Amino acid sequence: MPATVVVGSQWGDEGKGRVVDLLAADADIVVRYQGGNNAGHTVWIGEEKFAVHLVPTGVLRGKLSVLGGGMVIDLDVLLQEEEELSSRGIEVKSNIRISENAHLILPYHKLIEEQEEKRRGKQAIGTTLRGIGPAYEDKAARRGLRVGDLRDRQSLTDRLHDAIAFKNELLKKVYTARGVDPDKVYHDLVTLHDHFADNICDTSLIVQEALDAKKNVLFEGAHGTLLDIDWGTYPYVTSSNPLSGEVTAGAGIPPKLIDRIIGAAKAYTSRVGAGPFPTAVDETTAEKMREPGGEFGSTTGRARGIGWFDAMVVRKSVRLNGIEELAITHLDVLDQFDEIPVCVGYQCGGREVAHFPNQITDLARCEPVYETLPGWKSDTSQAKSFSDLPDNARRYVERIGELAGAPVTYVLVGREREQSIIR
Ligand code: IMP
């Protein structure tokens, strides 16, 4: 392995949790490098469903799990996640390391986001309301508080009071909403810090030392390439960089240490939140896929929009991330169809578009051009090897890999760990 990155190559929810869990069996360390608890990685262990939001998926395999410096962390949510997983027999506390450089999500971030989404009205982004955007805003504005800032209590008091004075003005005067109580925020933070103090450190040292020792380190991307703040469908994006390139800044390692980049992609497409979605199917078809695909947000529970596989999207991801292999998930959801359209290109104003557009207004005008592939109308969920799949399913997988520009090395055909085909 040594340094392997798993990135989402669509709009998030590609089943990265399943892919990371599969690869984590051979990993020594699993590292999250960006985002926060807007992510939701679902893994089924037998009949039990686990959804992790902040803690890297590696904890489910008992692996050392790092919350990297590029993340934004709500310590209260982390504690809840620890308690919930521990109560179900998963050891979290001794297995996690939290970067002192990661920024904190504080109560006012969530309040501001709620108000801001309301203010946007029809132009709302449809965020997860976890305070992600406002926390990254403060990071970029250099007024954020980092996990490491919790140690020096005097400095924490001063900085927190200063930050809250400003945020309360904003909440009360601009949004006419209620503010937060600085003493309560301070007290809660200090209690959380006391709990996690032994887990907080310079995580980039841990990761680099592991790589120097030729250990297997797995970098767990969150969200997806099309939600990248720079290269996604701006402004309908998240506030961080899910791209593989962010591993270096978010985990604190040089680019030359990355060996392998795997893109996770659904055999079709799904999308939550607002923004254009060229291959969206009609609601009747979406309904047929939602139940077998479990297409409800693992963080918010929202029903996801569903579309056919869009090779324009995944091709862009292959290019931007340097994806050399694809893990195709949810193939079994397509078992029911006679024919399966695959988007091979876009037409905009009667002209063919060579690449996925960067401007949202251009994307909104794009019409998908489809190639229709024959379905296989049989159960793929029991396939143990690629040759077990029906001919048309194999052709489908090969074709989407070819269109996206990367070979498919993993095919997942169900939610269970065993329903994984490794080529
Ligand atoms: P935020 O990340 O909460 O600011 O939300 C911004 C956009 O990204 C919204 O459309 C969310 O639905 C979407 N989003 C954020 N995280 C995920 C994810 O893990 N999966 C799918 N969509 C996500």
Closest atom, ligand 1, to C-alpha of 275:
10
pLDDT at 186: 98
pLDDT at 299: 78
Show the CA angle centred on residue 129, arms to residues 124 and 131, nearest 5°. Answer: 115
Closest atom, ligand 1, to C-alpha of 240:
2
Q: What is the pLDDT along the chain (423 residues), one digit of tens a residue?
A: 699 999 999 999 999 999 999 999 999 999 999 999 999 999 999 999 999 999 999 999 999 999 999 999 999 999 999 999 999 999 999 999 999 999 999 999 999 999 999 999 999 999 999 999 999 999 999 999 999 999 999 999 999 999 999 999 999 999 999 999 999 999 999 999 999 999 999 999 999 999 999 999 999 999 999 999 999 999 999 999 999 999 999 999 999 999 999 999 999 999 998 999 999 999 999 999 999 999 998 778 889 999 999 999 999 999 999 999 999 999 999 999 999 999 999 999 889 998 999 999 999 999 999 999 999 999 999 999 999 999 999 999 999 999 999 999 999 999 999 999 999
Residue having the nearest C-alpha atom to atom 21 of ligand 1: 12
* Residue 298, helix vs strand vs coil: coil
pLDDT at 300: 81
pLDDT at 273: 86
Pocket of ligand 1 (CB under 6 A): 12-13, 38-40, 125-128, 130, 132-133, 222-223, 227, 236, 238-239, 272-273
Domain formed by 103-196, architecture: Orthogonal Bundle (1.10)
Which of the listed CATH numbers 3.90.170.10, 2.60.200.20, 3.40.630.10, 3.40.1800.10 matches domain 266-422?
3.90.170.10
Provide Rg for the chain, Cα atoms.
Answer: 21
Nearest in space to 257 (alpha carbons), one of 222, 228, 214, 225: 214
Q: 164 phi and psi, to 5 degrees?
A: -70, -35
Distance CA 227, CA 297 (A): 15
The DSSP H or E segment spanning 422 is strand 420-422
Distance CA 217, CA 29 (A): 5
CATH class of the structural domain 3-99+200-262: alpha beta
Distance CA 276, CA 131 (A): 23
pLDDT at 240: 98
Q: Which of 18, 34, 37, 38 to mutate to test the pocket of ligand 1 (most atoms within 8 A of CB)?
A: 38
**C-alpha of residue 265 to centroid of ligand 1, in Å:** 16
pLDDT at 302: 86
Closest atom, ligand 1, to C-alpha of 38:
16
pLDDT at 349: 86
Instruction: State yes or no: is 21 an active-site residue.
Output: no
pLDDT at 335: 98
Where are the chain's structural domains? Answer: 3-99+200-262, 103-196, 266-422
Q: Which residues pair with 372 in a beta bridge?
A: 341
Instruction: State yes or no: is 109 an active-site residue.
Output: no
Residue having the nearest C-alpha atom to atom 20 of ligand 1: 12
DSSP assignment of 367-413: EEEEEEEE---S--TT--SGGGS-HHHHHHHHHHHHHHTS-EEEEE-
| Cis, peptide link before residue 357, omega less than 30° from 0 | no
**C-alpha of residue 264 to centroid of ligand 1, in Å:** 17
Question: Which residue is catalytic, options 21, 41, 193, 332?
Answer: 41
